Amino acid sequence: MARLIVLSGLPGSGKSTLAKGLSDLSGAILLRVDVFEQDLRNVNSSDFDVGAQGYQIGYDHARRHLLEGKDVIADAVNAVEPAREGWRAIAQETGTRVIEIEIVCTNEDEAAMRLRTRETGIDGLLPISLQERRERIWEPNPQISGTVDTAGRPIADCVDDLFHLVK
């Protein structure tokens, strides 16, 4: 049975880095909502309000891959319950197991350094400031399967922890 692995976390948590590492390790299809959102901005305008459209594109891609029997990793902030519920609905619709993991960086200085120095690999994506990160609304997730704290830890160790959480 295919799995839908939903990685949630604030910018600078290490979520996309771990998602890529898990995809490389497991062969799962990686869907980055940031890519879909930036594609929408690139087609429209840099200040285009993508709203939930990037997530909807992600849900559509996830559905297709899951119906093909492929494991999918959804890499998105998923800060609010409606965003998470969208992934759950796709899992239910496709008869897929959903695993929700929260990626955190409990060291704010480290998260700030990541935000200042990171390369997103997404043309045109504007950096997020620490202040913007702090202002993000974050709703607790009652259906979380596990958490990986990346603060002060090697990426390989975090990917290994993540791999074992999603087995």
Pick the CATH number of 3-165 from 3.40.50.150, 3.30.300.30, 3.40.50.300, 3.40.50.720: 3.40.50.300
Q: State residue 66's pLDDT score.
A: 99
Q: State residue 126's pLDDT score.
A: 72
Q: Give the pLDDT band of residue 129 (cuts 50, 70, 90).
A: confident
Q: Cα separation of 104 and 14, whole Å?
A: 7
Q: Give the pLDDT band of residue 118 (cuts 50, 70, 90).
A: confident
Q: How far is CA 5 from CA 42, 70, 119, 146, 159, in A?
A: 27, 11, 23, 11, 13
At residue 1, does pLDDT exceed 80?
A: yes
The pLDDT tens digits for 141-153 are 999 999 999 999 9
Q: State residue 50's pLDDT score.
A: 76
Q: State residue 14's pLDDT score.
A: 97
Average pLDDT over residues 140-165: 98
Q: State residue 112's pLDDT score.
A: 93
The pLDDT tens digits for 24-80 are 999 999 999 998 898 888 888 777 777 789 999 999 999 999 999 999 999 999 999
Q: Cα separation of 138 and 60, whole Å?
A: 24
Classify residue 78 by its DSSP letter: -
Q: What is the pTM of this model?
A: 0.93
Domain locations along the chain = 3-165
Q: State residue 24's pLDDT score.
A: 98
6 in helix, strand or coil? Answer: strand
Q: State residue 78's pLDDT score.
A: 97
Q: Considering the chain, what is the average pLDDT of its residues?
A: 94
